[in-house]
């Protein structure tokens, strides 16, 4: 059941819109006959189960209900593997005999393919909150290393080397320490802002401000990348062609929700650039819809069918999604068809930098010293 962010009223832009959750609960209560276990799978605010139980128990004449929280921890691109071999299964329920029995029933289902030691049981509120906090912590790590990437560029340090050095500390670990143009997707921003709203609701403004900074840092990183392109191209991209390689928020998906590419492309268009976008999986109409809005057109936004087509006649390449095919493009041929000096802005730090510099590109990578 979807839990989009509210677009109007109290909490607009932050709070979760629970109308669909409520509608589902009322439907269950209406058709239910006998005792039922209702399992929350959606990412929802803490205490939602309390509202669900109230609706279910107030609107059904047949049987009792137990509400369990069982958030999913699947990632786009690896969802099937994550389902088959999960790191953990989290089940939250009421700490009553009936609640414990309901949790045991759901745990028995998972135990058919998941080892028992990976199945965790908690109270309802811990489980509901854990999903929001998990996404917030992952996004926090990305914003943290991205903040350091700016310092690396200012000092001559290499963010990849810094990330490797700190990631070898077992207390930190290496995951989610890849500096980039920023995070995207349907969950991170939405869930952090929901967490911010919850903190404000419960009178914790300092905690709310802390987590909101994670989102602000991400927005700043995207803006900083756009400004890097403009300033490098002699402080103007007006009437210049910029090739954007990648539009999905990450590789192995066609999902463009909150993709960093949206902000970068819009920023370049505002600077009067012509932007040629190529993504191997995202349809042209989806790109236009995200950048311009439903049905809108702009001749300066070009959707190419290949990286070479996007790059032809361009002043710069900007890599915004880490698609594997971008690592092995014919950069010699692409360079021959570009205006000089030909610049590459690697927003994912995936390109063979030394090779590009030998060809003649000026290369600008996140958190690394710029080419001469």
Q: To 10 degrees, the CA torsion angle through 347, 352, 353, 357?
A: -130
For residue 152, indicate whether it is catalytic: no
Token pair recorded at residue 355? 């090779």
**Within 13 Å and on the Cβ side, how many CA atoms surround 198?**
20
Beta sheet of 362-365, edge-to-edge order: 301-303, 274-278, 241-245, 316-319, 343-346, 362-365
According to DSSP, the residues that pair with 316 across neighbouring strands are: 242, 343
- Decide: 361 and 344 in contact? Cβ < 8 Å: yes
255/261 Cα distance (integer angstroms): 12
* DSSP label at residue 275: E
Q: Can you spell out the DSSP letters for 297-338?
A: --TTEEE-SSHHHHHTT-SEEEE-S--GGGGG--HHHHHHTS
CB 369 within 8 A of CB 153: yes
| Cβ–Cβ < 8 Å for 193, 131 | no
Catalytic residue from among 152, 187, 199, 343: 187
Q: Give dist(CA 114, CA 369) in Å, integer.
A: 46
Just list the catalytic residues: 187
């Amino acid at each position: 059941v979807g839990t989009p962010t509210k677009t109007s009223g109290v909490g607009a832009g932050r709070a979760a819109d629970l109308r669909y959750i409520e509608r589902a609960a009322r439907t269950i209560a209406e058709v239910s006959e006998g005792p039922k276990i209702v399992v929350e799978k959606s990412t929802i605010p803490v205490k939602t189960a309390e509202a669900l139980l109230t609706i279910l128990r107030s609107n059904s004449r047949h049987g009792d209900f137990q509400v369990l929280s069982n958030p999913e921890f699947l990632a786009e691109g690896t969802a099937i593997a994550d389902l088959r071999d999960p790191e953990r299964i989290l089940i939250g329920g009421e700490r009553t005999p009936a609640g414990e029995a309901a949790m045991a029933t759901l745990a028995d289902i998972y135990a058919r393919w998941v080892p028992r030691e990976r199945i965790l049981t908690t109270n309802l509120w811990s489980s509901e909150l854990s999903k929001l906090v998990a996404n917030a912590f992952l996004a926090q790590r990305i914003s943290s290393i991205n903040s350091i990437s700016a310092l690396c560029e200012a000092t001559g340090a290499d963010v990849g080397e810094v990330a490797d050095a700190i990631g070898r500390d077992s207390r930190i670990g290496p995951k989610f320490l890849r500096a980039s143009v920023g995070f995207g997707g349907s969950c991170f921003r939405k869930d952090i802002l929901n967490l911010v709203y919850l903190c404000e609701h419960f009178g914790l403004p300092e905690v709310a401000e802390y987590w909101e900074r994670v989102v602000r840092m991400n927005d700043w990183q995207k803006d900083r990348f756009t400004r890097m392109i403009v300033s490098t191209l002699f402080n103007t991209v007006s009437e210049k062609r910029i090739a954007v390689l990648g539009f999905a928020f990450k590789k192995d998906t066609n999902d463009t929700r909150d993709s960093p590419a949206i902000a970068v492309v819009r920023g370049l268009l505002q600077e009067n650039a012509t932007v040629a976008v190529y993504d191997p999986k995202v349809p042209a109409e989806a790109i236009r819809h995200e950048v311009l809005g439903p049905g809108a057109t702009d001749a300066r936004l070009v959707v190419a069918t290949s990286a070479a087509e996007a790059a032809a006649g361009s002043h710069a390449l900007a890599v915004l999604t880490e698609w594997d095919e971008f690592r092995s493009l014919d950069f010699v041929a692409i360079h021959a068809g570009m205006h000089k000096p030909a610049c590459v802005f690697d927003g994912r730090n995936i390109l063979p930098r030394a090779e590009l510099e030998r060809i003649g590109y000026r290369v600008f990578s996140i958190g690394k010293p710029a080419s001469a």
